[in-house]
Amino acid sequence: MSDYRGRFAPSPSGRLHLGSALIAYGSYLKAKASGGTFLLRIEDLDRPRCPQANTPIMLEEIKRLGLSSDEPVLIQSEHEQDYLNTIAALPQAYRCNCTRALLKERPCPCQKLHLAPAEHQSIRVDLTSALAAHPYFNDGNFGLIKQADYSHELNPNLVLKRSDDIIAYNLAVVVDDHRQGITEVVRGADMLSATFLQLALYDLLGYQAPTFCHLPLVLEESTGHKFSKQNHAPALLDLLTPYEALKLCLHLLQVQTDPSMVTLVHERLSAYRTKPHCVAPQPSTQEAELLTALLHQAVTRFDPQTMPRQALML
């Protein structure tokens, strides 16, 4: 086994969508084609968005897609104290009483104020100088990514703990990728800008950063929207059987071309739009075996050089 350690780390805000499944298979194939380890992590710290009941449903859907973790699944909500300890040990962290509305009007003055703990207070860190050390990074799929192209999206006063006491995504993901010894993060292109914040956090925490490899988003051609819960996309396994879902993802990842899967999705989507319910047929009895065999074959065929770089239109 190689030293490569990859992961798929969904937020269980609902059922699994096509965009997430593509990342799941992309990260799995990259890890397995490298002879490495594949891990699962459930990023469920945002309780209002990710009710506890969603986690077993998400894990079951990942399992139906033929994917399993080589080590115990890490559930973030079971480790809240670790993130708090990390924040407490970070000398650059500071308390902030600014509301979102106030921050729109003026910069946050709190860093210099050394505020006493209070309710509805966030904890932030100033990443200005750490960000300056990362003018670019080399993405495993897209190549050179320049911070200047994303500076409008980057707030250097990064929230580590939100004013509603929820640990911020950027902090938790860095703590856990480090904790799990992840060597490469494969995820969606919507995280390109956050990579700069995370690289800066790795520096402040004194952790060795992994490499990053982003995959393009899957968009619905008619609307230009992502296939995600926010856009009311149907859950993947309400549209396709797991075997069909794998074939579609392999087509999108350019591992095994099968344009008929795109036609099939369009047919099922229009059936779903007519009457929103599960339009996927009951999987056949041999499906699980076919899926396992196809997934093994895909590992041998996967070539990271031919991963897609343009947005994937369906």
Structure tokens at 132: 């300056």
Give which of 158, 169, 172 is closest to 85, Cα–Cα.
172
User: Which residue lies nearer to Zn ion by CB, 16 or 96?
Assistant: 96
Length reported for the chain = 314
Choose the stretch contacting Zn ion; rule: CB under 5 A; options: 100-108, 148-156, 195-203, 239-247: 100-108
- The SS3 call for residue 186 is strand
Contact 130, 204 (CB under 8 A): yes
- Shortest distance, position 157 Cβ to Zn ion, whole Å: 8
User: Is 159 a binder of Zn ion (CB under 5 A)?
Assistant: no
In whole angstroms, the minimum distance from the beta carbon of 45 to Zn ion comes to 22
Residue 108 CB, nearest distance to Zn ion (Å)? 3
Of 106-114, 147-155, 247-255, 285-293, the window that binds Zn ion (rule: CB under 5 A) is: 106-114
- Pick one of 29, 31, 50, 96: the residue that binds Zn ion (CB under 5 A): 96
Interaction residues for Zn ion, span 8-67 (CB under 5 A):
none
Check: CB of residue 30 under 8 Å from CB of residue 214: no
| 3-class state of residue 122 by DSSP | strand
Shortest gap between Cβ of 93 and Zn ion (angstroms)?
Answer: 13
Closest contact distance (angstroms) between CB of 95 and Zn ion is 8
The helix/strand/coil state of 137 is strand
How many whole angstroms separate alpha carbon 300 and alpha carbon 275?
39
Using only C-alpha atoms, the chain has a radius of gyration, in whole angstroms, of 20
Which CB sits closer to Zn ion, 59 or 98?
A: 98
Would you count residue 160 as binding Zn ion (CB under 5 A)?
Answer: no
Identify the residue whose tokens are 């999705």: 265
| Interacting residues with Zn ion (CB under 5 A) | 96, 98, 108, 110
